[in-house]
Amino acid sequence: MQHDEVIWQVIRHNHCSFMAKITTGNFCRNPYNVTGICNRSSCPLANSRYATIRDHDGVFYLYMKTIERAHKPNELWERVKLPRNYEKALEIIDKHLMYWPKILVHKTKQRLTKMTQMRIRMRKLALKTREKIMTTPRKEIKREARREQKAEKAALLDKSIEKELLERLKKGVYGDIYNYPVEAYNEVLEMEELQAASEEEEEPEIEYVEGYEELEEEEDMEDFGGLAIHNPEADEDSDGIDEDLEDIDVPRKRGRKESTYSLRKVEKDARAKLKKKAKVIVEVEHEDADERQTTAH
């Protein structure tokens, strides 16, 4: 038979695994404790008639214990689901705890009030956007970096070994060996042929050169050829013109750096000199005065 006073004396003065002693007082870690304080009226082990409220995934339940079920540990607590409406939950508590001690009913209602307020605050905080502080796993980052370095080294080593073996196979170092993977060897050869073909099909380099060199030389020759004026009066000066043309040094082939502007300038200077030297004599006769007037243009 269960005796509450004996259980409390043993728990309080000897040892209780749910008791937490701190400077402010003694607290209880038992999930069925209605107040969280370690005392005679709030202890769920030392009271054969007890009631409390617990939360399961946002749903509140009323737990009740009676002395009639003390010999059945698997059926010790009776559970009743409480609605989300606060007033209706209070009505259900009053209905099921009608003949229970008033202090226990008051503590149960007080626990329901506190848990309802806590649920409202949790909903408000869930709707707000808050910064989440995350820790950086340094050990994992370093471990992954080391693994990546090892993998890169292994890949480079495999590639170098593969190249060396292919070169030896091409040179015929191993002789008549027929058990090597022919398909892999053929794939590598095809890849090399494709690379060589792609290098051959590359677009040629574009070069920019100076054009119209031959055409400019022909134009220069035509311009100098057209300077000879077939006038009977200018035949005497043809020898002097040839001498002047010989004296003028026209730089025709100075390479690609010589611009067309300098050539045209030289041509203009030569034409101006020829115009100055070529003169036309005009004779005018007057019948009355029998005088002959000559003008030179």
Specify the CATH number for the domain of residue 26.
3.30.390.110
| Cα dihedral: 146, 148, 150, 152 (round 10) | -150
Range scoring the smallest mean pLDDT among 105-114, 123-132, 171-180 = 171-180
Q: Tell whether 113 is covered by a domain.
A: yes
pLDDT of residue 199: 61
d(CA 297, CA 10) in angstroms, rounded, equals: 149
pLDDT of residue 160: 85
146 in the same domain as 118:
no
Cβ neighbours, 10 Å, residue 259: 11
Q: Tell whether 196 is covered by a domain.
A: no
147 in the same domain as 123:
no
Supply the pTM of this predicted model.
0.45
CA-based nearest residue to 47, from 55, 56, 36, 39? 39
pLDDT of residue 61: 94
Going through 66-115 in order, the beta strands assigned E by DSSP cover 77-81
Query: What 3-state class would DSSP assign to 231?
Result: coil
Are the C-beta atoms of 106 and 93 separated by less than 8 Å? no
Decide if pLDDT at 116 tops 90.
yes
Count of domains observed in the chain: 3
Q: Tell whether 9 is covered by a domain.
A: yes
d(CA 16, CA 44) in angstroms, rounded, equals: 12
Q: Tell whether 212 is covered by a domain.
A: no
pLDDT of residue 58: 87
Q: Tell whether 148 is covered by a domain.
A: yes
Decide if pLDDT at 138 tops 70.
yes
Sequence-distant (≥ 6) Cβ neighbours of residue 283 within 8 angstroms: 292, 293, 294
117 in the same domain as 58:
yes
29 in the same domain as 62:
no
123 in the same domain as 56:
yes
Q: Tell whether 233 is covered by a domain.
A: no
Q: Find the distance separating the first CA and the last CA of the chain, reported in whole Å.
A: 156
Decide if pLDDT at 3 tops 50.
yes
pLDDT of residue 268: 75
**Residue 1: which domain range?**
1-47
Reported as a pLDDT band with limits 50, 70 and 90, residue 245 is very low
Q: Tell whether 225 is covered by a domain.
A: no
Range scoring the smallest mean pLDDT among 12-26, 85-99, 202-216 = 202-216
89 in the same domain as 146:
no
Q: Tell whether 207 is covered by a domain.
A: no
Reported as a pLDDT band with limits 50, 70 and 90, residue 77 is very high
Range scoring the smallest mean pLDDT among 25-39, 58-72, 161-175, 264-278 = 264-278
43 in the same domain as 15:
yes
59 in the same domain as 23:
no
